[in-house]
A and B are shown apart, each in its own frame.
Chain A
Amino acid sequence: SQKIEQNSEALNIQEGKTATLTCNYTNYSPAYLQWYRQDPGRGPVFLLLIRENEKEKRKERLKVTFDTTLKQSLFHITASQPADSATYLCALDRGSTLGRLYFGRGTQLTVWP
């Protein structure tokens, strides 16, 4: 069965540093991979989508890489700020419909001043 692992349950970094989150998956070849931000008691908010034929994607301070050989995606937040503190979720498509996704458990990022 499909399995998604996000490297750690929690990550604490100092403001201004780069946060790097990892998403590994097995038993699957997704057409695309997405990253979401989730705040406590709220629904996820879409951040970035990267397709299987793309190596890297950027949006402002965010960067995502996708290595289909390693079955891994890295999510970077540069110049991190305390407001970036949240849980970040990795999600893979389940084929066919856009909204049918497998989610990882997430990594809780805390950025301290």
Chain B
Amino acid sequence: GAVVSQHPSWVICKSGTSVKIECRSLDFQATTMFWYRQFPKQSLMLMATSNEGSKATYEQGVEKDKFLINHASLTLSTLTVTSAHPEDSSFYICSASAKKLFFGSGTQLSVL
């Protein structure tokens, strides 16, 4: 089946720094990818839809200047958390569609 690879699986950073998370579709092309965030014991919340070759579409309440999304190729989307703060600590998960939705393994971000 289709595979979505996400990297890194976990990252610890200092407050104020930026962190980049990569999401790759390994054996299929994904014109659209999706970024979700999940806090402990909470549901996955859609942050944005990443579109290859165009601007991402952000959900209400998600700051586009805080969470920069780049989808430069059909197999790679990146999410950059800029000037991260402790409240940004969360589990970030990407997904891509190939007839059905495949999720990456997630990135646990801890901001100190």
Contact = CB atoms under 8 A, between A and B. Distances in A.
A103 B44 contact: yes
Contact of A99 (B91, B97, B106, B108): B97
Contact of B105 (A43, A94, A100): A43
B44 A99 contact: no
B54 interface: no
Contacts of B108: 41
A33 B17 CA distance: 39
Interface residues of B, number: 26
A50 interface: no
Contact of B44 (A9, A44, A45, A97): A44
A104 to B, nearest CB: 6
Contact of B106 (A43, A94, A98): A43
A43 B34 contact: no
B42 to A, nearest CB: 6
A73 to B, nearest CB: 15
B43 A106 contact: yes
Interface of B: 4, 6, 32-34, 36, 41-46, 49, 91, 93, 95-97, 100-106, 108
Interface of A: 4, 9, 34, 36, 41-46, 49, 89, 94, 97-106
26 contacts: A9-B41, A34-B101, A36-B103, A41-B108, A43-B4, A44-B44, A44-B93, A45-B103, A46-B101, A46-B103, A49-B100, A89-B43, A94-B46, A98-B97, A98-B101, A99-B34, A99-B96, A99-B101, A100-B46, A100-B49, A102-B43, A103-B36, A103-B45, A105-B42, A105-B43, A106-B43
